[in-house]
Structure 1
Amino acid sequence: MKDAEVLIVGAGPSGLVLALWLKAFGVDVRIVDAASGPGTTSRALAVQARTLELYRQLDLAQPVLDDGHPIQFFNVWSEGQHRARIPLGAIGAGLTPYPFFHIYPQDRHERLLVERLAAAGLEVERERTFIGFDEHGDHVEARLVDPDDNEERCSARWLIGCDGARSAVRTAIGVDFPGGTYRQVFYVADIEGDSPALNGELNLDLDESDILAVFATAPRGRARLVGTVRDERAERAETLQFSDVSQRAIDNLMISVHMVNWFSTYRVHHRVAEHFRRGRAFLVGDAGHIHSPAGGQGMNTGIGDAINLAWKLAAVAKGQAPEGLLDSYEAERLPFARRLVDTTDRAFSLLTADGPIAEIIRTGIFPRIMPLVAKLPAAREFLFRTISQTVLHYRHAPLNAGRAGKVHGGDRLPWVRFETGDNFGPLPRPGWQAHVYGSARPDLQAWCALHGVALRQFDWHADCAAAGLARDALYLLRPDTYVGLAAGSPSPDVLDDYLRANALRL
């Protein structure tokens, strides 16, 4: 029996990020995976701005930027004709230090996380299959099997299922996974070749019955193709080859394919688990929610789950909070997952709908209206905030309180640039911090020193007000950098009341 505070089942991005953050908080963790090694295919591509902001806390953002590819333009094609080239560039300028859309294939992403985890002293235990567990009051006892069918038991305080859409942990805890499957069959192919559409940009080709998206994975010549499979070919999707479905890409987008590095067909599902927690077991990432690929949200949402849960597990493990804090994980992440599935479902259904009206919208109206809408600053900001997940907040969850300026407890802290940097700079290690834009009162300084909370004071200027911050207010940030408490009239009593209400000991 090998004991750990936390046993993570599944070593995809969500599981790896969860393990990495737990290690940063000093929590003893074990991570197992049934596969023999990390993924070797690109799968998820997009790393959104909010993920990069969170990654910055552990010095992960820059390696992702250095080894990835920003998308500067969005091209719309219709029935083989180029209709529009829409600049993206720094579409989120002024909102985040990462105001762009960024491509970083999942195989590279996983390798980076595995390397960082190994540097922190933790190796993924491969070819270990989770087959069940028993809960015993203050711990669980999980059963794992190796390739030779030898069974091992692992005792842990908490069990985390990061094991994907077919999650064995979700099955073991008896949580339903309602939703459905879209009728369309899709193909995905990672290719190398030549084409006007292999230009390092995002290209979307629409016609009467199909969509074809080309996601650049390099400045030129490499891309991910995602397209629909129609007619009788959909009936034999499992045996299709790239040559069976590539004619439209070759004809409409003039793609000359030199090499196919990966090809697969799949159906898209939309499901959300009824619960993200049952007893001492939790669900993270695809184990708890799956949805259409519209907007590149899936992997980023799983990473957000992992970081949200990590700091709460660490606080309870260290005696800084009661077990009840862990209820806030589901309270914050489950509503977001449901909204996300609903939003991506509507976008996906619009793009793939059948019928004459849908065809007119897809091939006639959409290519003409998109360039006009994209020129509107409000529309660009809305699009960026939604896709980047910087709009996500937890205002209505019980852990968050107060308001100062336009910022509520539960909000993502607004980003502000200063002459010497910005207000998103990481602490030496993740933890609680207090921000004051202006001057912090001496009694607040003393309170922060007493509780070991890093107090960061920033010079007040017009950009602070424009971002919605209040002068001399106090913003108490949780370890995931969301605002826990916003206090327009800050005092030690207000901070003590917040800690007491949530039974927190910093």
Structure 2
Amino acid sequence: MVPLPSSTEVCIVGAGPSGLACALGLAKRRIPFVIVDALEAGHNGSRAVLMQPNALEACLSNALGALYPQLPEDLVSGGIQSNTLTTIDLQERLVFRLRMADIAAYTKYAFSLLIPQHKVEHRLREYVQGGGNGIHWHKRVTDVKEVAEGTLYELGFESGEVLTARYVVAADGSKSFLRSFAGIRFIDPYTKKEAGPGKNDLSFVVADVLFASPLPTNVPRDGLQMMVGAGGVVLTAPLLDIDSAGAPRNNNLFRLYLGVPDTPPRSPDAAYLQAILDARGPGSHSKLHTVPQIAKVLDSSRYRTRPALADRYVQRAKGGAYILLVGDAAHKHGPAGGQGMNMGICDGIELAQAIDEHRNSSALDAEKTGTTHDAVRIMDAYSAHRRSVAGQVIDMVESMTQVEKGGRDWGAYFRVTALWFAFKVPFVNGMLAWKISGLGHAK
């Protein structure tokens, strides 16, 4: 194991998608960095399952392509290209079918990539480590303080080790220790109050399962499908199951997202999951199809979600050291639209560029006097742009969530009916495909 150095230019705290993307951006620019994570090894219990064109095109291939030209294709090869995102009601009538092909003029990745977050992280780690940059696992930050007249931050670790850095990247998740240290509020963007558990939080179950054969034909193997109705959303996402040699093993591997009205078990078993499918999953209200049967649960968990947004992404010490937020440390929202991992990756890439521009600014000494020199404005611009993007995405996700919640009241009926009519207009499909793709957020 490589020992943790005592100092570096940039310390990235968190080796998830946002931290790894930032690391690749720094490596491209040959900026010294150290990346640490509190876990023992790579994270494999993540919930994200979608990569959108913005993460593949606008961020990875454009921002990193000179050094990592094969990275986007390596990611694509590990997933399933979902050319459509389909929403149906309990009677399996089509509500709308989002056609990603409508944005083909703007990207070579006119699809949503169905790939679990842990596979994305695995591929990003390979590229980070392939460049000679190891990840320091089991390094939990327990203390932070300004040193050297505020020109550096000193990080103390649970292990007793200490490291100083000028830039500290907070990629340490929604319960970010670094965000708390910096005194940055994590607020509900609608109430402007501190985001915390509340009665309006939505509960979900996420599970990776193997369905029994034969798989009913109303469960697509080549695209994401969402059922909306009473009780909450039922989403099925096929996943690529391959062995170490790259050969397919099982065509019935699926990720399930299930909205639940109450508090589910910590690790829901097959009986719990099957009961939800039997009540409101594919085939549950159809005379033409049967309900898919769960043969095996590979992994399952529960979570609650609420919208949250950091009131700023940047904390500057008096001497010009920085704590900089990315990913879940900066924003949080529900799973609708598959946006979280993509925003985190784009945060990381854009922050690496901002750090590079900041280091190259011609008069960094101006920061020590608190002036509004370009060096200060570079970081403020990063914060303003990425926070604006997060706010727009949260608004979109919240609107989509209202549809996913379903229900039997008139409000739910009118929402679904309005969508059915709207998607009869081709322009509407293209507009929503563009919004979900995230391509409009590229800097």
Does the alignment reach a TM-score above 0.5?
Answer: yes
1:195 maps to what in 2? 216
Question: CA 1:250–1:174 in 2, change beyond 3 Å: closer, same or farther?
Answer: same
2:163 maps to what in 1? 154
Identity, % of aligned positions: 25
RMSD, aligned CA: 2.3
Question: CA 1:321–1:52 in 2, change beyond 3 Å: closer, same or farther?
Answer: farther
Inter-partner Cα distance in structure 2 for 1:244 and 1:121: 45
Q: Deviations over 1:236-262 (max 9, x none)?
A: 543643422422314642111122111
The answer on 1:312 being equivalent to 2:334 is no
* Distance apart, 1:109 and its partner CA: 0.6
Inter-partner Cα distance in structure 1 for 2:392 and 2:103: 22
Q: Deviations over 1:76-103 (max 9, x none)?
A: 3322435468373523111112111211
Q: Secondary structure at the match of 1:17?
A: helix
Q: Secondary structure at the match of 1:294?
A: coil
2:252 maps to what in 1? 221
Question: CA 1:328–1:119 in 2, change beyond 3 Å: closer, same or farther?
Answer: same
Q: Secondary structure at the match of 1:293?
A: coil
Match 2:297 to one of 248, 252, 260: 260
1:13 maps to what in 2? 17
- Greater RCO (CA < 8 Å, at least 6 residues apart): 2
- Please, which runs of 5 or more residues in structure 1 have no aligned partner? 393-411, 413-481, 483-506
8 Å CA contact 1:92–1:99 kept in 2: the answer is yes
The answer on 1:365 being equivalent to 2:374 is no
Query: Aligned letter for 1:142?
Result: L
Match 2:74 to one of 41, 53, 63: 63
Normalized per residue, the structure richer in strand is 1
Q: Deviations over 1:4-63 (max 9, x none)?
A: 100111000000110111011000000100001112235211111111112112321110
Inter-partner Cα distance in structure 2 for 1:143 and 1:246: 46
TM-score when scaled to structure 1? 0.71
8 Å CA contact 1:189–1:242 kept in 2: the answer is no
8 Å CA contact 1:188–1:265 kept in 2: the answer is yes
TM-score when scaled to structure 2? 0.81
8 Å CA contact 1:143–1:153 kept in 2: the answer is yes
2:438 maps to what in 1? 389
Query: Aligned letter for 1:221?
Result: N
Question: CA 1:255–1:158 in 2, change beyond 3 Å: closer, same or farther?
Answer: same
1:113 maps to what in 2? 124
Question: CA 1:242–1:177 in 2, change beyond 3 Å: closer, same or farther?
Answer: farther
Inter-partner Cα distance in structure 1 for 2:95 and 2:397: 23
2:35 maps to what in 1? 31
- Give the stretch that moved more between structures: 200-209 or 379-388: 200-209
8 Å CA contact 1:200–1:221 kept in 2: the answer is no
- Give the stretch that moved more between structures: 339-348 or 1-10: 339-348
8 Å CA contact 1:192–1:257 kept in 2: the answer is yes
Question: CA 1:346–1:15 in 2, change beyond 3 Å: closer, same or farther?
Answer: same
Question: CA 1:375–1:66 in 2, change beyond 3 Å: closer, same or farther?
Answer: farther
Inter-partner Cα distance in structure 2 for 1:37 and 1:27: 25
The answer on 1:76 being equivalent to 2:87 is yes
Number of aligned pairs? 383
Query: Aligned letter for 1:346?
Result: S
Match 2:396 to one of 332, 335, 343: 343
- Please, which runs of 5 or more residues in structure 2 have no aligned partner? 189-194, 242-250, 283-290, 317-321, 365-374
The answer on 1:249 being equivalent to 2:277 is yes
* Distance apart, 1:265 and its partner CA: 1.1
Inter-partner Cα distance in structure 2 for 1:81 and 1:49: 28
* Distance apart, 1:343 and its partner CA: 2.4
Inter-partner Cα distance in structure 1 for 2:296 and 2:267: 19
Question: CA 1:326–1:74 in 2, change beyond 3 Å: closer, same or farther?
Answer: closer
* Distance apart, 1:346 and its partner CA: 2.5
Inter-partner Cα distance in structure 1 for 2:430 and 2:51: 18
Q: Which has the larger radius of gyration?
A: 1
Q: Secondary structure at the match of 1:90?
A: helix
Inter-partner Cα distance in structure 1 for 2:294 and 2:110: 32
